[in-house]
Structure 1
Amino acid sequence: MMPIQYAGLTRPIGIILACLMIAACAPRGMAPSAPPPVATTDRALQVQAETAYQKGELLTALDYYQVLIQNFPDSPLIPQAFLKIGRIQTALDDDLAAVDSYQQLLAIYPERPEAMDARIEMLGALQRLGRNQEILDAAPAFADQVQGDIRRFRLYTILGDAHAALAAWDQAVYFYDLAMTDAPAIHRAALEEKMKTAVAMLQEDQIELLLGQVQDETVVGYLSFQQAATMAGASAYDDAVWLLTVFLERFPDHEYAPQARALVEQLAGKVAYDRYALGCLLPLTGPYALFGARALDGIQLAFSEINTMQDGLPARLVVKDTGSDPNQAARAMQALADAKVAAVIGPIATAESAAEVAQERRIPIMTISQREGLTAIGDNVFRNFITPRMQAAVLSSYMLETLGKRRFAVLYPDEIYGRTFRDMFWEEIYQRGGEIVALEAYDPAKTDFEDVIKKLVGRYYDTPEDLKALREPLDLLGPLTALPGYRPPVEEAVEENVPGRRSRSARQDDDAPPPIVDFEAILVPDSPKMLGLVIPQLVYHDVVNVTLLGTNLWFSEKLLKEAGEYVQGAVLPSGFYPASQSPRVQTFVAAFEAVYGRAPGFIEAIAYDSARIMLNAMLDPNVWLRAGIRHTLTKAVPVEGVTGKVAFDGNGEPVKDLVLLQIEGNDFIEIDPSRAPVKGRSDDIPPAPLP
């Protein structure tokens, strides 16, 4: 067998022996004064090499290992020899040669146990050579295969150092944290110093992410303190004091605890606010003034109830008019911030400009808006409203999981509202295993939807002439009734008095193909005014015996007047049902009617719930900072309200239970989403009038 070539270091035995003799003149610690003769077996050579290594005679040990590789290329001791050669070269400050040695071991013996040590040792050599990116490129191929505490500690420390050298501080902290788990006590102090250096370089979003990933309590402490210090540096004093308070409760004996206490005292004067003052932004003038006035009634009722139960100082409502204008809304929010209110409720419209100011001033705000994306402005922005996603979810769940329907159609106005519900409903149906088999949009400015409905049911295109011929008697043979063996077809009897059905003989388009109604339910997301035009035309074109699905806009007396006879059995979600049997809702409705002399609607109810949620959070005796209000809201604990249970997810979006209603006669009846109704729409729809 050819001798193993080792990076230009293979030498004839004579030269090696000569070197051993010359090495006798070397200083103590580098070579022996009188080297013993070279052993004649591989194991004896290994003993000689290891003995020299233990004595610190590194050059002698190196030569013995090289002789072992040269003379015994088939020996099972070769991988160990390569590994030791690499370590000796590292000790001799020749990391470049060490990398070559480890690479040869990995190339020839990739499956031997020594290979994993060689990989880790090679990463260390690359680090000392400043080749940090090569470390990051090589490590993922084997990092998850590393076993043993010391190996993992070395690997993770090297990876942390490599990321730190490349200024990837968040990744450095991540790997230092992993190293902490396996760090020997003797190395822990040095590792903590590296950790502190890396943590001090982190950005706010990086700290937030790492706090959800790291395991070591020491690391959590460093990150928590740094998060508070970063907030203070960004003038987010309320958040800083909140985080410092939490830090001191969890880590009272931390090395940074004295600094934390000093910082709390320093910032105390900068976080003062009126914990009994709730700001309120509503459109009391302008095009949305009617909604603002209705919402204010609900909010004021909530205040009166809370103050009746409050033992201490009464809560105060500071109302500002947004004028239905985004610029005025922003100015009004600035005024509330200057008044040092604890939190803000509203606006209904123009919420974005106000929310941006609230986030900048770090004041919790609960908007009463259907606008999507508001809570993305920041962690102080919340929203309490019924959303298209909620409605699509409850409808699809009921249809598929309770009624077992699988095929759906969507007929929608070609505008933002319609397109939004189209997309949300499609996603929810798809996720639950259903399918949309028909989809058509109509122009909301028109009143005739014949073409659109025909497209929906496959009747839009004219019947080809050759197919028409098959529907008529064959002239050459005479009428069909004269053909031998002719039997008249058995026609399904159609009772003229059966609601929702009409004889096709009464239709003017007798030659038209029958509609393809291959869906079991159809969603029509539009207003009552438009529904009064659309729904009768659906029935006229034989789209019957399917379940009509609507949105919360369907919950209107106007719909019953415009198209009540055509929407029997229709199912729709609602954010508030004043006729509910819930004692909480009945109490609210009675109190509202007693004060205002009218029944509350959804706006009054959602404003009432929002006010109570905010007041309970800000008046909690354990909350003394605005950041505490925000954290109370984000606990994801459902709060029972008159609009159902609501909690807020990590993005400030509401997670609500919606009411599910069905139209029966001239009423909206609450139904149980987990149970199918006794009767459906097909038995309640009258025939459409003839044109």
Structure 2
Amino acid sequence: MCRSTVKIVFWVGVLLFFLVQCAPKTRLPPLATPSPPQPAPRQERFVEQDFQRAEALYRRGEYTKALEQYKLFLLTYPSSRFTPRVRYRIGEILYRQKAYAQSAQTLQQFVQAYPQAPEQGEARYLLALDYYYLGKFGESRRLLEQLFPSTTDPDRQADLRYYIALNLLKEGKDLLALEQLFQLLSTAGRKTRQREGEELIAQIIDERLSPQGWEQVKQRYGGAAPFDRILLRLVEQALRQQQPRKAQRYLQEFLSQFPDQAQAPRVQQLARQLETLQSTLVDRTKIGILLPFSGEGSFVGESAWQGIQLALQTTPYVPEEGELQLITRDTGGNPERVAQLLQELVTQERVIAVIGPLFSRVVTRIIPLVNKLRIPLITPFAPDGNFPAQSPYVFRNSLTNRMQAQALAQYSRQHLGLSRFAVLFPEDPYGQELQHLFRQFVTQLGGEVVMEVSYDLKTTDFTAPIRELGGMTDEERERQGLPETPLPYEAIFIPDYYDKVGQIAASLAFYNLQPVQLLGANGWNDPRLISLGEQHVEGAVFVDGFFLDSPYPHVREFVQNFQSTFNQNPDILAAQAY
């Protein structure tokens, strides 16, 4: 080659170099470019081969190797026509490998970069599942709900409802989750997903819903797929709460709705449990009444019965299992029959509790039976003794003798200014306990009981005990020529009932033991005391737990209702029984 030719070639090369340097440079398309530049045919063959190699690994389930190949493909061919699919596959495999955070990041970038890609719906579905497993339940649910209108595949619709329900459960929206699952069962999705829906419904009913929730589902979805399960759960709940009427109602409803399941083992077991419960459990609508309607004490029995009837008429009561019933038994003034009648009320009538008996000695006698039967018993009277301490099932609504003796001693010492007392008492538990307690409290308050005289409970002649207190007739005093001398006491405490007290008061006057302050307990509280004792009980003081003319509104209301119902005034027994 000649020298001139070499120079020309040199300068042409220099010119071409500068032209290339000054020309505008071509950039790679961004990630979101839908139609990247196409490689030459020979290069395209290599691109497809590498893509298919990764796809083959994916289809064989070799996800770790496939993931490596997909990542290598992106590094080698960042802008091929297979790039969207590769990026989706990477996000999908990361989801399969439970790398939810990386999967979510990859799929989120894919969804934003390739809105027209055919994998867009599947990518958003997997992204929603990533959010669920990452604990982003609200975001997951909203994304699944957005997918639903555009989804026509029944299998995918079932998947969407299933995962929407899972998210709702995580958000504490159990009833809304059940609604999704009920709709899942009504779709034509694959059976495996429907079985999963049924299992999840059972789990919600058994483990998450309260009895109130069962009732809401029963009312809203009665007859739907899990209705049988809900009814059986309600039967079980009623049996646990020992409510046989409610259990029987639910079981009958179940058998009418699902007669083909009548012989199912679980149903048969519940029916046997209900039968056992009905034979051994109390009837929650029945209250037993043990009162003396005849014989000794019938007048107090009738009074207590009136108070109980008035309470039933005037007290608001919402029956859950039927109207309240009062099952009465007449003790007839016979303490020996009370145990038999109590046994009958509990074992035959299956009452839930018993009101009565009235008298302390009778209650004390039946306490061993009460403990054996484990029946709650409340007496509206029985003030003697400390018998409630002998049983966790026995109660009383009455002033105790201790309370009465303490109140009377305090009033006598602090308000009446009395210091010296005599006690005239019957030889029965009521009189003996009050005599003992009154002396105890008087002594504690600085007073003194100077005389204590007892009399037989059945006596009607009080001459002997009154003479022991220093009583003398006018004739005896004149015959012996004794001057009038002051008594060694200022008051006489008589812990007996009004009928005896009326006789004693007249006898005290006859034997010149008046004027003296008479003191009494709640046995005095009867209007007939005045007609029996007349002027001899004027100024007497007794203690009790009920005052007919009380200014308290609830007492006034009770008195007015009693008067309008029975056309008479209530006494303490009626008030305490009420």
TM-score of Structure 1 vs Structure 2, range by shorter chain: 0.3 to 0.5
Higher-Rg member (1/2): 2
Larger RCO, structure (CA 8 Å, separation 6 or more): 1
The two structures have a TM-score, normalised by structure 2, of 0.44
